[in-house]
Amino acid sequence: MWGKLPCIVDFYADWCRPCKMVGPIMEDLAKEYKGKIIIYKVNTDAEKELSMLLNIRSIPSILMVPKTGQPTMKVGLMPKDVYVQTIRDVLKVQ
């Protein structure tokens, strides 16, 4: 078991245009799934060591970490419905 709630980690950079487009999607998901998942944001420029440790080579990278089981990484800008489906499939949250 990883934590009390499943989480999403949004790896981004301030200069990244696709990252800026993912930001509002993550904000919407945080509101819609409040109390069911936690969403963290990690600035890859500020957290270079963590980004290297997790092998973040392209941004945006979205790490989905379920309460149990294997985490899943989504790379690149995707429509909100893809993130929602991944939340359902990987995080097992409806």
Q: How far apart are CA 16 and CA 38, in angstroms?
A: 23
Q: 3-state class of 21 per DSSP? A: helix
Domains, the chain, ordered by start: 7-91 (3.40.30.10)
Enzyme catalytic residues: 16, 19
Residue with the two structure tokens 């930001």: 23
pLDDT at 69: 86
pLDDT at 68: 86
Confidence of residue 1 (pLDDT cuts 50, 70, 90): very low
Predicted confidence (pLDDT) at residue 3 exceeds the cutoff of 80: no
pLDDT digits (tens, 9 = 90+) for 45-90: 999 999 999 999 999 999 999 988 889 999 999 999 999 999 999 9
Predicted confidence (pLDDT) at residue 2 exceeds the cutoff of 80: no
